[in-house]
Structure 1
Amino acid sequence: MRFAIVGVLNTAFGYALFTILNLSGLPPQIALIFSFSGGVMWNFMTHARLVFDTKGVTRLPYYILSYLVVYIFNALSLEGLLSMGLQPIIAQGLIVLPAAILAFILISRVLTGQFPWSASTR
């Protein structure tokens, strides 16, 4: 439940940032890079501390790697929807839920040590 609440807040922050940057004139893919980059550290702190009670930053590299996977999924999906003629803000809005599900799967495993390469002390 905490992941859902924090996830909604983090997703809303990222989507709002994407929208503002896109409406300010940045191309959609550039706005996406900035919105993901701006959210990674904030999201790590909220997920690690508020959701999974993970101490320290030993899992941060794996968290960033997880976000990179989510970013690639998002960027490719966005490009596909844009090529179909959708407006950037609408296209990104359609991607939010699938990207959040992917993020949940990857991030929860990284922050709970369920990936062999992310197993470290909590």
Structure 2
Amino acid sequence: MIKRMVPRKRSFMRFAMVGVLNTAFGYALFAALNLSGLPPQAALAIAFSGGVLWNFMTHARLVFDTRGFRRLPFYVLSYLVIYGLNAASLEGLLAIGLHPIMAQGIIVLPAAILAFIAISRVLTDRFPWEPEA
């Protein structure tokens, strides 16, 4: 049991470290695009699109030790689902009057947790809470 827990904790810690870097990049890109005059939804679309391939490489190689691009289509699909939920959440927070940068800042952590769950499944064929085979 302890042997199974150590790699899982290591994966989560790596995901968190890589996720902080990826999230900071994506959020900074979103903020820069929005502050330069791009509407929030357009800035979000560009920030998500720009980060997908980079994030796939960092997650697959640095976090889950997955090689190749065979899982890339599923990774992109999971990102599209996360993007859709993020975009809907952003629109909801904008509708209640929050500033776009503050609204996206609120969404970042829940989106990151959802991403860990989805990406774990896509890159390892199991959810994070499932035991290793």
TM-score tier after normalising by the smaller chain length: over 0.9
Please, which of 82, 90, 95 is the counterpart of residue 83 of structure 1? 95
Please, which of 21, 39, 46 is the counterpart of residue 9 of structure 1? 21
- What corresponds to 1:33 in structure 2? 45
Q: Residues 15-71 of structure 1, C-alpha deviation per residue, up to 9 Å, x if partnerless?
A: 000000000000000000000000000000000010011010000000000000100
Please, which of 116, 119, 127 is the counterpart of residue 107 of structure 1? 119
TM value normalised by structure 2: 0.85
Aligned residues: 115
Structure 2: where are the runs of 5+ without partners? 1-12, 128-133
Residues 3-82 of structure 1 correspond to what in structure 2 (within 5 A)?
3-82=15-94
Aligned-pair Cα RMSD in Å: 0.8
Amino acid across the alignment from 2:20: V
Q: Which stretches of structure 1, 4 residues or longer, exceed 6 Å deviation after superposition? A: none
Structure 1: where are the runs of 5+ without partners? 116-122
Distance 1:70 1:34 in 2: 14
Distance 1:3 1:95 in 2: 18
